A and B are shown apart, each in its own frame.
Chain A
Amino acid sequence: MRFIRVDMGTKKVQVEAVPDKYLGLGGRGLISNLINDWVPPRCDPLGTENKLIFAPGLLGGTRLVNTSRIAVGAKSPLTGTIKESNAGGTFGDAAGRLGITAIVVEGRDSDNGLSVLVIDREGRARLEDATALRGVRTYVLVEALFKDYGPDNAIMCIGPAGEHSLRAASIQSTDTKDRPCRAAGRGGLGAVMGAKGLKAIVMDRRGDIADAIADPEGFDRAAKAFAKAVRSNPFSRDVMPNLGTAGLIAPVNAMGGFPSFNATKGVFEGWEKISGEHMADLLAKRGGRTGHKGCSQCIIQCSNEFVDAQGQYVTSSLEYETIWSMGGMTGIDDLDIIARLDFLCDDLGIDTMSTGVGVAVAMDAGYRKFGDGQAAIELVEEIAAGTEFGRMLGNGPEAVGKFFNHHRVPIVKGQSISGYDPRAMQGNAVTYATCPMGADHTAGNLIADYVSGKLDPLKTEGQVEASRNSQIAMAVVDSIGLCVLASAVLATPEGNDAFVAAINAKLGTRMNPDALNGMGIKVIKAEREFNRKAGFSNKDDRLPRFFYEEPLPPHNVVVRISDEDMDKTFDF
Chain B
Amino acid sequence: MKINVKLFSMLRQCVPDYDPESGVDIALASQATVADLIRHLNIPEDRKPVVTWNGRILKADDKLSDGIVVQIFQPVAGG
A517 CA / B65 CA spacing, docked (Å):
44
* CB of B57 within 8 Å of the partner chain: yes
* CB of B40 within 8 Å of the partner chain: no
Mark A473-487 against chain B: 1 for CB-CB distance below 8 A, else 0. 000000000001101
Chain A residue at minimal CB-CB distance from B56:
A255
Once A and B bind, how many residue pairs between them come within 8 Å at the CB atom?
A: 100
Evaluate whether A451 and B55 lie within 8 angstroms (CB atoms) in the complex, with A235-B75, A239-B76 already known: no
Beta-carbon contact of A251 and B8 below 8 Å = yes
Mark B36-79 against chain A: 1 for CB-CB distance below 8 A, else 0. 00000000001110101001110100000000000101111111
Chain B residue at minimal CB-CB distance from A447:
B78
* CB of A250 within 8 Å of the partner chain: yes
* CB of A288 within 8 Å of the partner chain: no
* CB of A247 within 8 Å of the partner chain: yes
A452 CA / B79 CA spacing, docked (Å):
16
Mark A446-472 against chain B: 1 for CB-CB distance below 8 A, else 0. 111011110000000000000000000
Contacting residues of chain A (56-109) with chain B, CB-CB under 8 angstroms = none
* CB of A277 within 8 Å of the partner chain: yes
Evaluate whether A277 and B75 lie within 8 angstroms (CB atoms) in the complex, with A255-B52, A255-B57, A452-B50 already known: no
Beta-carbon contact of B79 and A484 below 8 Å = yes
A485 CA / B79 CA spacing, docked (Å):
6
A447 CA / B75 CA spacing, docked (Å):
10
Size category of the B interface is: 20 to 34
Evaluate whether A254 and B76 lie within 8 angstroms (CB atoms) in the complex, with A234-B47, A239-B10, A277-B12 already known: no
Determine which residue in B48, B55, B73, B74 has the highest number of CB atoms from chain A within 10 A of its CB, and name it.
B55
A276 CA / B9 CA spacing, docked (Å):
8
| CB neighbours of A447 from chain B (8 A) | 76-78
Beta-carbon contact of B8 and A255 below 8 Å = no
Beta-carbon contact of B9 and A448 below 8 Å = no
Beta-carbon contact of A248 and B76 below 8 Å = yes
Determine which residue in A250, A272, A448, A488 has the highest number of CB atoms from chain B within 10 A of its CB, and name it.
A250
| CB neighbours of B55 from chain A (8 A) | 254-256, 266-267, 424, 554-555
| CB neighbours of B74 from chain A (8 A) | 234-235, 238-239, 247
Beta-carbon contact of A448 and B20 below 8 Å = no
Beta-carbon contact of A248 and B78 below 8 Å = yes
Q: How many of A's residues come within 8 Å of B, CB to CB? A: 44
Beta-carbon contact of B52 and A254 below 8 Å = yes
Evaluate whether A277 and B79 lie within 8 angstroms (CB atoms) in the complex, with A250-B71, A254-B71 already known: no
A235 CA / B48 CA spacing, docked (Å):
9
Chain B residue at minimal CB-CB distance from A244:
B79
| CB neighbours of A242 from chain B (8 A) | 9-10
* CB of A370 within 8 Å of the partner chain: no
Evaluate whether A277 and B57 lie within 8 angstroms (CB atoms) in the complex, with A251-B73, A442-B79, A488-B77 already known: no
Beta-carbon contact of B57 and A235 below 8 Å = no
| CB neighbours of A3 from chain B (8 A) | none
| CB neighbours of B57 from chain A (8 A) | 255, 450-451, 453
Chain B residue at minimal CB-CB distance from A247:
B9
Beta-carbon contact of B9 and A277 below 8 Å = yes
Chain A residue at minimal CB-CB distance from B60:
A453
Mark A216-259 against chain B: 1 for CB-CB distance below 8 A, else 0. 00000000000000000011001100110101101100111000
Beta-carbon contact of A451 and B50 below 8 Å = yes
Determine which residue in B9, B12, B20, B71 has the highest number of CB atoms from chain A within 10 A of its CB, and name it.
B9
A229 CA / B56 CA spacing, docked (Å):
29
Chain A residue at minimal CB-CB distance from B10:
A238
| CB neighbours of A275 from chain B (8 A) | 8
Provide 15 A-B residue pairs closer than 8 Å at the C-beta atoms, listed in order of the A residue: A234-B74, A235-B75, A239-B74, A242-B10, A247-B9, A248-B78, A250-B71, A251-B50, A254-B73, A255-B57, A266-B55, A445-B77, A447-B76, A448-B78, A451-B75
Q: A234-B75, A238-B9, A321-B79 are in contact. List 6 more A-B contacts (CB 8 A).
A: A243-B9, A256-B55, A445-B77, A448-B75, A452-B50, A484-B77
Q: Which are the 6 A-B pairs with shortest beta-carbon distances?
A: A445-B78, A488-B77, A256-B55, A448-B77, A238-B10, A254-B52
Q: Tell me the A residues contacting B by CB distance below 8 Å.
A: 234-235, 238-239, 242-243, 245, 247-248, 250-251, 254-256, 266-267, 272, 275-278, 281, 302, 319-321, 420, 424, 441-442, 445-448, 450-453, 484-485, 487-488, 554-555
